[in-house]
Amino acid sequence: MDLIIRKATTGDTAAIAKLSTQLGYPISEQDTETNITTIGQNENEIIMVAVHEEVVGWIHLFHTTRLESGPFCEIGGMVVDNHHQRLGIGRMLVEAAKKWCGTKGYSVLRVRSNIKRIAAHQFYLQTGFKETKQQKIFELEVTI
């Protein structure tokens, strides 16, 4: 399979929105384009796409530092098209993520995965990740 991984552009908006919906996060193309543009302006973040004739996957990465645990990179999200799974695309996206982290000088790559995504957990374990903790995420709407 001929596949390239490259930095996402706003030209990828429709495909990224479609894949985000497959992941369970329905989002409009307009909001997707805004997010691609915003992330693209931040040197601490990147979106990469996997392309095989069309965009068949994406990964969003960022690097940060936590006061108590130090610096690391994190996968903010990753999805491979339902019809292209189990072809090694996810592994290639993770490899590209590892390289990006290395270029930024970070040696730790983390990912959070919803408790119900059992197949994703298995994928990450098979890709070399180790489970380090379980947690709950709490969210609060803030009035602006």
User: What is the structure's pLDDT at 87?
Assistant: 94
Whether pLDDT at 20 is above 90: yes
Q: What is the pTM of this model?
A: 0.93
Three-class DSSP labels, the chain: CCCEEEECCHHHHHHHHHHHHHHCCCCCHHHHHHHHHHHHCCCCEEEEEEEECEEEEEEEEEEEEECCCEEEEEEEEEEECHHHCCCCHHHHHHHHHHHHHHHCCCCCEEECCCCCCHHHHHHHHHCCCCCCCCCCCCCCCCCC
User: What is the structure's pLDDT at 31?
Assistant: 98
User: What is the structure's pLDDT at 55?
Assistant: 98
Whether pLDDT at 21 is above 90: yes
Q: What percent of the chain has pLDDT over 70?
A: 100
Domain boundaries, the chain: 4-126
Per-residue pLDDT reduced to its tens digit, 23-32: 999 999 999 9
Report the sign of the C-alpha dihedral through residues 80, 24, 32, 35, in that order. negative
User: What is the structure's pLDDT at 45?
Assistant: 97
Residue owning tokens 């990753």? 78
User: What would the mean pLDDT of 12-16 be, rounded to a whole number?
Assistant: 98
Q: What is the mean pLDDT of the chain?
A: 96
Per-residue pLDDT reduced to its tens digit, 44-98: 999 999 999 999 999 999 999 999 999 999 999 999 999 999 999 999 999 999 9
Looking at 3.40.50.1370, 1.10.357.10, 3.40.630.30, 3.90.1300.10, the CATH number of the domain 4-126 comes to: 3.40.630.30
Q: What percent of the chain has pLDDT over 90?
A: 97
Amino acid at 118: I
- Angle ∠(65,123,69) on CA atoms, nearest 5: 15
